Structure 1
């Protein structure tokens, strides 16, 4: 079966989703051609009574341990930087991106995942208390040691990503070659407050798209692609920040295209993301088999040129 350009978001494995359900979804994902699993060392500290993360990685690790030989067929992505580190309130108490914090976090992630390497390692939130040279050097050492395959930045401003890449390049180090940000077909008003959005620079905009498209080494992953069900569920309306004429127009053309093609609006959005320039790898969190099947089918679609044009030109 062909691989699909979809990352299974494992954020709530082990917290809101119990282990049995998580295992079933992981098994079904692999059976349908999925290979990419996205998690983080901090998932999901806010949903666990302990106040700390690691539950998602632990569930994935137990799942892998019961399926010998499967690890080599998968692409595992995890993150460092946002896990609570002790006393005080988050995000002030997060572990950050100092060299020692990065190395200690990777050791913990590999232990929980039961693996000797991470295929893509993300710095989850920027940390301006850490020197970029220290962060870039620590990450490069992990790559050099064979513990990490590729490096990515999530929720960082592009100027900081580029500065870190230049530091890495000047030292002959491996640098960032992936970005992970929030992205979907409809967008909130510029500067509109978005509740529960803790990442000031966690959005895809025209500058990000141009940056990625101009560099063949750079990949773009997107989270919150389906807006928590708002495209297809009346009981999950878009928040007020999305209330503007552009949203109305885009939702209308989205519904038209979905009806014309006989697919769901979620599937149109996923096909729009994967078929764009640059192509985007969507991260989709699911809670049941139906949602997973819908997502896998969506990323496998290629939108006809006329429908693609209408979606792109509607603003």
Structure 2
């Protein structure tokens, strides 16, 4: 497995694939029992992985507890990331939810106990609550860095404007900078191409990408009716083949996989890795397998090399409309590069 720095803001070295632990435990009624979770963890370590992603709420806290057990003998080998914002259990009260400093500090102390460690390498705010000022969030992060409780900070599932504001606030006030962002990204979900990924590349932020297989859609298994357990049992974070675009993506994956003697799963992850190697910052898919067999099947992407032709075929099949003002900006860039004026019909008029 290859390694890179975590964005251009840090010297932190992480593997090109992260291990997501949302399936470690059965607190949600669907996930991996301890022994299965241990096998997934060991498979990741054997492959050379060192970047572990969890959250206080995953499986009602079980994921953190299991991960703390698994890394106990070699804690400093791993880059350990966890999240706060969401409650650990459905019974969590209003004071245990959101991005506030109060909830941040409380959640970090609880995560440290479950993870059986004295520090967290990377703390994410799990999702924007749309209410807490970015000043409060960033100052809270900075205080935790100063206290040695966390080393780096990140924003997960935040809109681009809030991330950009946080980045500027930290720069102006001398606080710990935003190191990275986390978002959903796959062939099926490319909305981040509009704002979030260009912003991250411009600011030097690392990007970790959850649900790289779109909840199993990109494996092709739902089309064949072989496995819909995640859709029926977990009931969330699952995409469906409901439009011509999804059909085109899966058809293209199956065709390329057949030509390469591979699988749609490997091709879907290989597309992300190919894209990462062309980016000016680090783009890191998070593998969140529920079984060791699923994990091993996904890991095969490391041995797969896509041609530029296959990469572009997948780009074309999964492309989304960028919308306003991004499409006009691209047209303007093309006009400037060609030394020509923008066509009158394409000039925005208010």
Which bracket does the TM-score occupy, shorter chain normalised?
0.7 to 0.9
TM-score after normalising by structure 1: 0.83
Partner of 1:309: 312
- Paired residues, number: 287
Partner of 2:325: none
Unaligned runs of 5+ in 2: 4-14, 232-237, 320-350
Aligned position for 1:19 = 34
More helix per residue: 2
Q: Which moved more, 1:54-63 or 1:127-136?
A: 127-136
Name 2:271's counterpart in structure 1: 272
In structure 1, C-alpha distance between the alignment counterparts of 2:284 and 2:44, rounded to whole Å: 15
Whether 1:78 and 2:87 are equivalent positions in the alignment is no
Rounded to whole Å, the distance in 1 between the matches of 2:22 and 2:251 is: 31
Q: Alpha carbons of 1:174 and 1:269: their partners in 2 closer, same or farther (altered >3 Å)?
A: same
CA RMSD, aligned part only?
A: 2.4
Match of 2:195 among 201, 204, 207: 207
Which residue number in structure 1 is paired with residue 68 of structure 2?
61
Partners of 2:56 and 2:88 within 8 A in 1: no
**Pair member with larger Rg:** 2
Query: Which residue of the partner structure matches residue 293 of structure 2?
Result: 290
- Does residue 31 (structure 1) correspond to residue 19 (structure 2)? The answer is no
Q: Is the 8 A contact 1:85 1:95 kept in 2?
A: no
Contact 1:187/1:247 (<8 A) preserved: no
Indicate the SS of the match to 2:180.
Answer: strand
1:287 deviates by 2.3
Q: How much has 1:259 moved relative to structure 2?
A: 1.3
- Compute the TM-score of the two structures, normalised by the length of structure 2: 0.75
Cα distance, 1:302–1:118 mapped onto 2, change above 3 Å: farther
Which of 34, 38, 41 is the aligned partner of 2:56?
41
Q: Distance in 1 between matches of 2:168 and 2:272?
A: 29
